[in-house]
Amino acid sequence: MKKLLTVLAVLALCLGLSACGHFVSIMPGSAAVDENNPDLPQTLDNFEEKGLLEFMGWQEFAARYYSDTPIALSIRTAQGGYASPVFDRTSIIAACDALRAMTVTGRSDAVPAEDQQTVYTFTMKNGEEYAVAFSGGELCLYAGQYTVTGLSKLSALEFPGYSNAFDVFDLYYDEDIRAFADNFNVNTPVSVGRRYNGGATMTSQDPAVVSHAFQLLQGALIDRVEESPDQNIDLTQLTDYVFTMTDGSYYTFTFAGPCLQVTASDDYGPVYYWLSGADELAAMEILPESTVPTFAGGPLYGMREEIARGLSAANGELPDVSIVGVYVDYTIDGQHGYLTLDAADGAAFVQRVAYINAAAEITEPVGEKITVYVTLSDQSGPIIVFTGDTVQQMVGYDHQCDAAAMSDLRATILALAQDPDNVGPSFGSTSG
């Protein structure tokens, strides 16, 4: 009997302890709420006003957000139902300052409802997240709501999809892309191209086509952010729109399926935006099917302008542009693999590929595929697709390459895959 009473007493004590507070971690890896904040208002009869960041236990965050600024701030509203990030430091610091200026003034009678909350999430460079939620102008924290002052400054911040203040070019948080859009009529691109899944680029130099493609991008409205791209869109279907400037630089806008894919922060990763007007851009005729690109035969650098520019970079002929590296995705003799070359070996590889000869006639591509991705220091670079002994000039236009040169290229790739340091004596040859 005594043993039973003892068990019941221990059980009652455990239940009592578990009911004393909500042991919810403030942040991943942090101590429990009750350990960090023993005077949470759930346990107080008389409420004491506090600054919001102190009230939430965010003292460390408050002390470091100027020197260790979050890389992103996102909002999710009950009405929108998706998280939309911003990446500019000005907006992020403004949000942090707004939180620091807010005061928690009392306990509310309202019961938090997740489907009615607006949640602001700060993402740090290491992936750590700080989230704060509001509902009806009040702070939602654990099992309660609290009245606050100063929320209007935070609420005034604007986010893509939730505000019309953003256009497509704003999403990149890049001064060069913003200048490209603002100065389009003064510094107009010489061409626009469309590229599917890393294949050859269909390019038009018609000013009307270039202008129309830009206007469709400029006029597209941001509908929402896709939160589950791996489930709701086909990430293997990539379409690039490439605007080439008079100096040879490129501006590339990539769509994954129907969504614009933007990586404004490498640490945060890509964000996918649903746009109104994207269908019109996809349906736009860049190059009429009846237009056959002019190629009289010869080395590949004469086939496409971006290959010629890549060769110039490899040869050191462009003062401000160089080869960063080369990535090769290949299937040779049934063997599928990948090859990564650094700047020096990549430059030699580009030289070799650019001087492969091809015939003028269009032919049917048959055989295993080799795709060469060249990255230049300005983030541009050609993508060259070989199928068997053919090379793709643009979608639907493949040319027969010199069989001996292609056999040598395949052997070189396999040799490099076995020994990346063995570049080979013929690399860098400038002979036709």
User: How would DSSP label each residue in 29-90?
Assistant: TSPBHHHH-TT-GGG-SS---EEHHHHTT-HHHHHHTTTS--SEEEEE-TTT-SEEEE--HH
pLDDT of residue 250: 87
- Provide the 8-state DSSP code for 378: T
Residue 373's nearest CA partner among 390, 355, 349 is 349
- Give me Rg for the CA atoms of the chain: 29
Residue 212's nearest CA partner among 284, 317, 304 is 284
Residue 231's nearest CA partner among 257, 197, 202, 267 is 257
For 61-113, what is each residue's pLDDT tens digit? 999 999 999 999 999 998 888 999 999 999 999 999 999 999 999 988 877 67
pLDDT of residue 5: 38
pLDDT of residue 393: 87
Return per-residue pLDDT of the chain as tens, 432 residues.
433 333 334 334 333 333 333 333 333 333 333 334 444 444 344 678 999 999 999 999 999 999 999 999 999 998 888 999 999 999 999 999 999 999 999 988 877 677 789 999 999 999 999 999 999 899 998 778 999 999 999 999 999 999 999 999 999 999 999 999 999 999 999 999 898 887 777 888 888 899 999 999 999 999 999 999 999 998 888 999 999 998 888 899 999 989 999 999 999 999 999 999 888 998 888 876 555 567 889 999 999 888 999 999 999 999 889 999 999 999 999 999 989 999 999 999 999 999 999 999 999 999 999 999 999 988 788 889 999 999 998 777 899 999 999 999 999 999 988 875 544 433 333 333
The angle subtended at Cα 419 by Cα 388 and Cα 323, nearest 5°, is: 70
How far is it, in rounded angstroms, from Cα 189 to Cα 210? Answer: 7
For 333-352, what is each residue's pLDDT tens digit? 999 998 999 999 999 999 99
Cβ-based neighbours of 2, under 8 Å, separated by 6 or more: none
Q: Phi, psi at residue 177, to the nearest 5°?
A: -70, -35
Q: What 3-state DSSP class applies to 373?
A: strand
Residue with tokens 């010489």, as numbered in its chain: 190
Residue environment code for 269-281, b if the CB has 16+ CB neighbours within 10 A, otherwise e:
ebbbbbbebbeeb
pLDDT of residue 11: 37
How far is it, in rounded angstroms, from Cα 113 to Cα 255? Answer: 36
Going from the C-alpha of 168 to that of each of 165, 253, 286, the distances in angstroms are: 10, 10, 20
pLDDT of residue 18: 32
pLDDT of residue 35: 38
pLDDT of residue 204: 87
Residue 199's nearest CA partner among 253, 235, 237, 248 is 237
The tokens for 110 are: 């309202």
